[in-house]
Amino acid sequence: MTNSKTSKKENKFCEYYTETGDIKESAVRAGYKNNPEKTGIELLYTEKISNKIKKLYEIKKKNLIYQTIVGYEKLAFGNISDCIKLLFCENLNFNDLKKMNLFNISEIKKPKDGSMEIKFFDRMRALEKLEQIDNLKNSEKEPFYYALENSIKNFESTGE
């Protein structure tokens, strides 16, 4: 009978592998110095490591869902006052710019005449995406990644 618990080093390997997908880098960052690529491959073939990575990946997928929802909510309901302030500020320094919330901006153009054009993400499209996600969660007919992929394709096809 093998030990089903993973060591700290093995846990680190699993975390790094879930983050990067790179066997050698994950093994090195976890502290496996001697032949890290071979060690990483051996770890991946271990059932307890494979199960740990699977669990971590499921958590990562759930977090991506939450991040996507929060992102669409920011686009749909976010404040644009800093974006408007950007239009009227003449001498902004870098520190002031770093403090500004410019999340809703999709494009900034500064033509040769010195003016500035700011294009915002479409709030209605963000609301539609939130509705699609909500419908998918309620119906469970399609996996989230399929919906996310279609969402990105639709967004790109409209030139947004």
Spell out the domain ranges in the chain.
Answer: 1-45, 62-160
Q: For residue 16, what are the contacts with CB-CB under 8 A and spacing of at least 6?
A: 25, 26, 29, 30
Instruction: Give dist(CA 62, CA 82) in Å, integer.
Output: 31
If pLDDT is split at 50, 70 and 90, which confidence band does 1 have? very low
pLDDT given for residue 155 in this prediction: 65
- Identify the pLDDT of residue 38: 95
Apex 38 CA angle, 35 and 42, nearest 5:
135
pLDDT value at position 146?
66
2 pLDDT more than 60: no
Write down the pLDDT at residue 136: 75
User: Structure pTM?
Assistant: 0.61
Query: pLDDT by residue (tens digit) across 79-117?
Result: 999 998 888 887 888 898 899 999 999 999 988 888 888
Q: Residue 44: pLDDT above 90?
A: yes
